[in-house]
Amino acid sequence: MFILILGAPGSGKGTQGKILAERLGLPKITTGDILRAAMKDGTPVGRQAKEFYDKGQLVPDAVVLDLIKGELTKPDANDGAILDGFPRTAAQAELVDKTLAERGQRLNHILLLDVDEEELVRRMSARSSQEGRSDDTPEAIKTRLNVYRRDTAPLIAHYGQRGIVHRVPGGGTVEQIAEEIKRIIGR
């Protein structure tokens, strides 16, 4: 089973993705974590990503598409995975659809975490004081929200046509949201 967790920055994709992956025994693929590790290790991908990441912009598809393909074709993602943080652009969605279709698979569910903007900003600002993530600055947060609206939100309509998008109210507690997701997925 392939499940995509979609939502604005700060909507709780990472938090709910982890709970879901553990419950279903599936790997979680998180492009944000992969890019943060690459930047920390100073790899070529990390060096290319950093200038975009720190400003809250998307890392260009030219850098991210190979990374996504590599992750999806790893043996542990053969039977399913939780996708956290990608696809984020039309080109990434096309690659995911094509890679899965080549193996006779497809995205089964898309969970759209719906959180109002005030709460998103509150969460990212709170994390900023705890973790000091380089893209949790006020300026980068603003850019991330704009980029989400412009580049990623259109994917809702793209997948909506297939009837696999479930809107999940994401403003409650972590446990309430996890319960709602369990109800939607049916396990």
- Name residues contacting ligand B4P, limited to 30-49 (CB under 6 A): 31-32, 35
Supply the Cα-derived Rg of the chain in whole angstroms: 16
* DSSP labels, 85-143: S---SHHHHHHHHHHHHTTT----EEEEEE--HHHHHHHHHHHHHHH--TT-SHHHHHH
Among 71-79, 102-110, 119-127, 159-167, the segment contacting ligand B4P (CB under 6 A): 119-127
Q: Which of 3, 6, 38, 64 binds ligand B4P (CB under 6 A)?
A: 64
- Name residues contacting ligand B4P, limited to 12-31 (CB under 6 A): 12-15, 31
The nearer residue to ligand B4P, 3 or 59, going by C-beta atoms, is 59
**Residue from 24, 40, 16, 61 nearest 134 by CA:** 40
The nearer residue to ligand B4P, 24 or 36, going by C-beta atoms, is 36
- Please tell me whether residue 94 binds ligand B4P under the rule CB under 6 A: no
Q: Which of 2, 3, 29, 52 binds ligand B4P (CB under 6 A)?
A: 52
CB of residue 21 to ligand B4P, shortest distance in Å: 13
Query: Regarding beta strands 2-7 and 28-30, do their DSSP bridges make them parallel or antiparallel, or are they unpaired?
Result: unpaired
